Amino acid sequence: MGWHEHHAHLFLSGARERVEELFAAHLPDFQTFEPPQGTADPQTGIGRLNAWIRNFFVPILVQYPDWTALCTQAALEQAVKDGVSRFEASFNVGRDPDVSEEKFEKVLCGIMQVHAQTAPELELRIDLGFERPISPENQLLCLKKHLRFAEKSPQWAKLLYGIDLYDVEDAAEPEAFREVFETARNAGLRRKVHVGEFGTPEEIRHTVEVLEPDEIQHGIHAAGSPDVLKFLADRGTILNLAPASNRILGAMDLSQKPHPIRKIFDAGVRFTLSSDDFLLFGASISDQLKELTPWFSDLEITQIRQNCQTF
Ligand SMILES: [Zn+2]
């Protein structure tokens, strides 16, 4: 049975070596990257991640007209290699609602074509990603553009699955994206939100109360509050955890005892493991399951494995 990947960022999910091969370019390893002084807030791992994207990903890859298709190809190849059977991955919904139809459709058609050619057997599900620091109004208009495209393209309608909210957690209050989430709900889309990666358990609870997501990306900091864990367990909210990402970005001390994921498990909160950004963190779902083995019994690991294959 294959993995169900719930939390991946499409263009950042290929293996670095494969991306380098496809673009005939060198990409510095994120894990040893130190942002030049003054260019990123060293307190936040997201600042470091954004600095790497700004310094390398954008200037080296985004200059190519077909960069989205090539990055998608690397991502789908990596998913297949790890034994993923259902791949839910996000990319930015867009910032410019007035972008030309030609440019807009080119990216979506490129993704559909790569999927059909590279991994037709892989069930691909697209989540439209919303960036907290960017105008919610413009992104809402872009969402409506995607929904209109799905009405005329059955192939795109089949791939379009959900939405995801991400980027620096305190860049906007969840209230700013309420209309986006309502529109997505009315369109039958699955709703996910990045929260509790760096933020507090109370921020997780507040975001869930305001946006009513189906799933949370990360949410690892819920481990710090038995109350919030109970709230999530009672609600049946799924956390799509990515411990390798947390470790590499310094989002959480994972050497503490008991392990935060142990607390989440013991509280009865449903969770999966996910790769987040394989290009940066280099850890697949299989790798991360291995990372958890010292903290769980064989029987519990079997249960976590099954959850990663069935949720
Ligand atoms: Zn993420």
**pLDDT tens-place string over residues 292-310:** 999 999 999 999 999 999 9
Give the sign of the dihedral formed by CA 71, CA 44, CA 41, CA 127: positive
Beta bridge partners of 126: 89, 160
**pLDDT tens-place string over residues 229-265:** 999 999 999 999 999 999 999 999 998 899 999 999 9
Mean of the pLDDT values across residues 163-182? 96
- In angstroms, the CA 241 to CA 298 distance is 20
Q: How far is the CA of 188 from the centre of ligand 1 (A)?
A: 22
Q: Say whether pLDDT at 39 is over 70.
A: no
Q: Helix crossing, 201-211 with 178-186: angle to 10°? A: 50
Q: How far is the CA of 89 from the centre of ligand 1 (A)?
A: 10
Q: How far is the CA of 65 from the centre of ligand 1 (A)?
A: 25
Q: Which CATH class is domain 3-310?
A: alpha beta
Residue 177 CB partners (closer than 8 Å, separation 6+): 130, 132, 136, 165, 211
Judge if pTM exceeds 0.85.
yes
Q: How far is the CA of 12 from the centre of ligand 1 (A)?
A: 10
**pLDDT tens-place string over residues 207-221:** 999 999 999 999 999
Query: CA nearest 184: which of 176, 192, 195?
Result: 192
pLDDT for residue 34: 85
Q: How far is the CA of 218 from the centre of ligand 1 (A)?
A: 7
Domain ranges of the chain: 3-310
Q: How far is the CA of 118 from the centre of ligand 1 (A)?
A: 24
B/e letters for 145-167, b = 16+ CB within 10 Å, e = fewer, are bbbebbeebeebeebbbbbbbbb
Helix, coil or strand: residue 192: strand
Taking a C-beta distance cutoff of 8 angstroms, is the pair 283, 291 a contact? yes
- In angstroms, the CA 223 to CA 106 distance is 42
**pLDDT tens-place string over residues 266-300:** 999 999 999 999 999 999 999 999 999 999 999 99
Q: How far is the CA of 217 from the centre of ligand 1 (A)?
A: 6
